[in-house]
């Protein structure tokens, strides 16, 4: 029988949509039954048969043959005289079975049904995509950049599903153009206006964790556990790892021979510095390791306030704080302690002067810049060369020379 374009797209649905064949057949059957209910008032006496291979269908309607004048429902019954005209062999009590053609529904009904069919299949497809990705939150996905906007990037997976990566979920150094391949972690999946919205991220700690699982077999196999990850995306990350097998060095396994395992991760994260440290329940030791690469002299803990006072030699203070304060900030997040850094002073260092004492001669923003890299006394600034200060701060050489001149005059 002719399908009159109603299901021309069945093959398209079957081949390209993320829906299994029985589900599509069920949708087709429901659409046709809806047409039958509108035309005849009921579909309970109709059989809809859909060919699963090509979408061809047959519709059969059964009515009980009744004596003339005794038919109460024309949709379910047919009088004998009318039945005899259609099939002379029929008698009262027989079933009259007729095939219903799509043409009999009329062109308008067919077009409406086709639209219903398309919308129902699209709705099912969206539900399937939502379910699929909802179960994959936290996994890494690889896709191709399709379009780059100011606030977000559209990525297509290998099935053509749309993934959104907001600018806020990209590493600051990320730069994408159409056609680029990109890896990210599935951050969250929401249903917005009946459409799945899949957000992916490259700054989430889970992204770094999945990269470690890919590069380090011992983590994937469960021999090494990642206890916690903290990140300043594109700048620095700290990863606390632990092994329950004394024969395995968790840090060494994560870094690899000559850094072979971690180098790939660093490249993926746009040269983000990654510190891998051994987890321990000894808080003092944990904080000491978290402040790496700085070497700590002593620590005073206040466990009730979750506060740690860390004492270092003057040349280690800037290392502990790190560029932009990232090192000390991440160490605090990793350990759960608020960390304050203090410079150990002895002998002539006792004569040092707090840099805040020079606020009437040096602008406050310059003092803040120096304190930001751990230089909070006059002698700590004078201990560094002009070139070193230019490199570590955003100050101009002339400004630094003027500051050093003011500080030197204090001790002359």
Residue 138 has pLDDT above 80, yes or no: yes
- DSSP structure class, residue 325: G
Mean pLDDT of the region 316-325: 84
User: So what's the pLDDT on residue 267?
Assistant: 92
Taking the C-alpha atoms of residue 372 and residue 328, their distance in angstroms, rounded to an integer, is 11
More confident residue, 139 or 82: 139
Cα separation, 262 vs 23, in Å, equals 46
The tokens of 99 are what? 């095939």
Contact (Cβ atoms closer than 8 angstroms) between residue 319 and residue 339: no
What is the percent of the chain with per-residue pLDDT over 70, rounded to a whole number? 92
CATH classification number, 209-279, choose in 3.10.20.30, 3.30.420.10, 3.30.300.20, 1.10.3470.10: 3.30.300.20
User: Average pLDDT in the 93-113 region?
Assistant: 81
Which of 192-196, 260-264, 359-363 has the least mean pLDDT? 359-363
Gap between the Cα atoms of 65 and 322, Å rounded: 92
Average pLDDT value for the chain: 85
Rounded CA separation 282/293 (Å) = 19
pLDDT at position 237 over 50: yes
pLDDT at 148: 93
Mean pLDDT of all residues in 149-158: 93
pLDDT of residue 20: 67
Say if residue 303's pLDDT is above 70: yes
How far apart CA 198 and CA 143 sit, in angstroms, is 13
Torsion sign (Cα): 230, 233, 238, 243: positive
For residue 43, pLDDT beyond 80: yes
What is the fold of 10-132? N Utilization Substance Protein A; Chain:P; domain 4 (3.30.1480)
More reliable by pLDDT, 47 or 168 = 168
Question: Higher-confidence residue: 122 or 216?
Answer: 216
> Could you tell me the two tokens for 300?
């005073």
pLDDT of residue 346: 53
Q: How would residue 2 be classed by pLDDT, with cut points 50, 70 and 90?
A: very low
Give residue 52's pLDDT. 66
Residue 5: pLDDT band (50, 70, 90) is very low
Cross-sheet strand order for the sheet of 273-278: 224-232, 236-243, 273-278
Instruction: For domain 142-201, give the CATH superfamily.
Output: Nucleic acid-binding proteins (2.40.50.140)
Q: Which of 174, 125, 179, 122 is nearest to 156 (CA)?
A: 179
Segment 8-13 long-range contacts (CB within 8 Å, at least 24 positions apart):
9/117, 9/118, 10/54, 10/55, 11/54, 11/55, 13/121
């Amino acid at each position: 029988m002719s399908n009159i374009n109603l299901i021309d797209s069945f093959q398209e649905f079957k081949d390209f949509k993320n829906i299994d064949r029985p589900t599509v057949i069920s949708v087709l059957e429901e659409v046709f039954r809806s047409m039958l209910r509108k035309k005849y008032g009921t579909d309970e006496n109709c059989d809809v048969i859909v060919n699963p291979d090509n979408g061809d269908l047959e519709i059969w309607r059964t009515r009980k043959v009744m004596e003339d004048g005794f038919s109460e429902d024309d949709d379910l019954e047919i009088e004998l005289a009318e039945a005899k005209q259609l099939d002379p062999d029929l008698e009262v009590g027989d079933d009259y079975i007729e095939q219903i053609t799509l043409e009999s529904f009329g062109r308008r009904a067919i077009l409406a049904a086709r639209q219903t069919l398309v919308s129902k299949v699209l709705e099912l497809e969206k539900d399937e995509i939502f379910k699929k990705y909802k179960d994959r939150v936290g996994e890494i996905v690889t896709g191709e950049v399709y379009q780059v906007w100011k606030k977000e990037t559209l990525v297509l997976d290998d099935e053509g599903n749309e993934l959104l990566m907001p600018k806020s979920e990209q590493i600051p150094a990320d730069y994408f153009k159409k056609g680029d391949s990109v890896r990210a972690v599935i951050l969250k999946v929401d249903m917005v206006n009946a459409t799945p919205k899949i957000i992916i991220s490259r700054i989430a700690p889970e992204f770094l964790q999945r990269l470690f699982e890919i590069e380090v077999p011992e983590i994937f196999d469960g021999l090494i556990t990642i206890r916690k990850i903290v990140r300043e995306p594109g700048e620095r990350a700290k990863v606390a790892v632990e092994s329950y097998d004394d024969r395995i060095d968790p840090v060494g396994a994560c870094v690899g021979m000559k850094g072979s395992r971690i180098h790939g991760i660093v490249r993926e994260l746009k040269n983000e510095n990654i510190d891998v440290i051994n987890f321990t329940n000894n808080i003092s030791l944990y904080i000491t390791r978290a402040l790496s690469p700085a070497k700590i002299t002593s620590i005073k803990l206040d466990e009730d306030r979750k506060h740690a006072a860390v004492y270092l030699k003057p040349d280690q203070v800037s290392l502990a704080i790190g560029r932009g304060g990232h090192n000390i900030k991440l160490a605090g997040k990793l350990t759960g302690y608020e960390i304050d850094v203090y410079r150990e002073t002895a002998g002539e260092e006792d004569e040092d002067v707090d840099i805040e004492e020079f606020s009437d001669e040096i602008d406050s923003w310059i003092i803040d810049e120096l304190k930001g890299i751990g230089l909070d006394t006059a002698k700590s600034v004078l201990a560094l060369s002009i070139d070193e200060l230019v490199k570590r701060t955003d100050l101009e050489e002339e400004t630094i020379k003027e500051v050093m001149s003011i500080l030197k005059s204090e001790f002359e």
